Amino acid sequence: MKHKLKYIKLPVLVILVAFLFGFAEKRNNARKVSEVKVQFIAGENLYVTEEAVNKLLIQNDVAAAGIDKEILDLNRVERLLNNHDMIENAEAFLSLDGKLQTKISQRKPIGRIVGSSSFYLDKNGLEMPLSPYYSARVPLLLDIDSSNIEKVYPLVSYIQQDKFLTQHITGVRRLPGNKFELQMRKLDFKVYFGKAENIALKLNNFKAFYKKALQDEKLETYKKVNLQFGDQVVCTKK
């Protein structure tokens, strides 16, 4: 009887050890991050990729699948992401199923400076480096550098917010005296804008001129359109 009891105890002991081991492993896994999920705001072009974000987090030892939740510093994750050149704002949080989720809003370029050094001008008027992943279709900003981007920013910002202007203006060139010239898509005339003053008035006048000239089929007859006088559009024919 005693021998039978010993044989019975051994399988029970093995099952008990296996159960305890499995329970401990499950509990340990519940304390770890199961996955890192990167989410970008819908509709944005990817100036930084999910792979690049994951690589950044791993290289800085702040987040990776399998990391213990107790040592995960969400504030540090957000600071690291917000310091990235292509990211405007990032939020990090831990879901109930153990996933580290990051919600990322990227910076938005509105113009591209072309010269000895090339970079974007973003919607907040700040310099933004070019992206290796995506090239933005924005107006080219010529004869402009870091020392005078604040002069062109109000004009480029206004253009970016107007669908008609965005479709038709492909470039902005700075002239002596901080005056500006607009370059048009598929048209060979230049638009002399003058200083970045009375921007709404000048551009509304230009839109009215453009639509009327298009209707009259006269757009190709002009070689220069001058908006510098603000309250009127002065045109020179070829």
- The residues, any chain, with a CB within 8 Å of residue 202's CB and separated by 6 or more, are 193, 194, 227, 230
Return the SS3 of 61: coil
Is 138 within 8 Å of 161 (Cβ atoms)? no
- The model's pLDDT over 79-120, given as tens digits with 9 standing for 90+, comes to 989 999 999 999 988 877 778 888 999 999 999 999 888 999
State residue 114's pLDDT score.
93
Helix or strand run (H / E) with residue 36: strand 35-40
Residue-level pLDDT at 99? 80
| pLDDT(5) > 90 | no
pTM: 0.79
Mean pLDDT score, 135-149: 94
What pLDDT does 229 receive?
Answer: 84
**So what's the pLDDT on residue 156?**
97
Q: Are strands 169-175 and 179-184 parallel, antiparallel or unpaired?
A: antiparallel
Side by side, the strands of the sheet bearing 222-226 are: 127-128, 119-122, 109-114, 140-142, 169-175, 179-184, 190-194, 222-226, 234-237
**Tell me, what's the pLDDT at 97?**
78
13 vs 228 pLDDT, higher one = 228
Indicate the angle between helix axes 199-215 and 149-160, nearest 10 degrees: 50
**Domain architecture of the chain: domains with CATH:** 35-106 (3.10.20.310), 109-237 (3.40.50.11690)
Q: What is the DSSP letter of 71?
A: G
Q: Are 92 and 78 in contact (CB under 8 A)?
A: yes
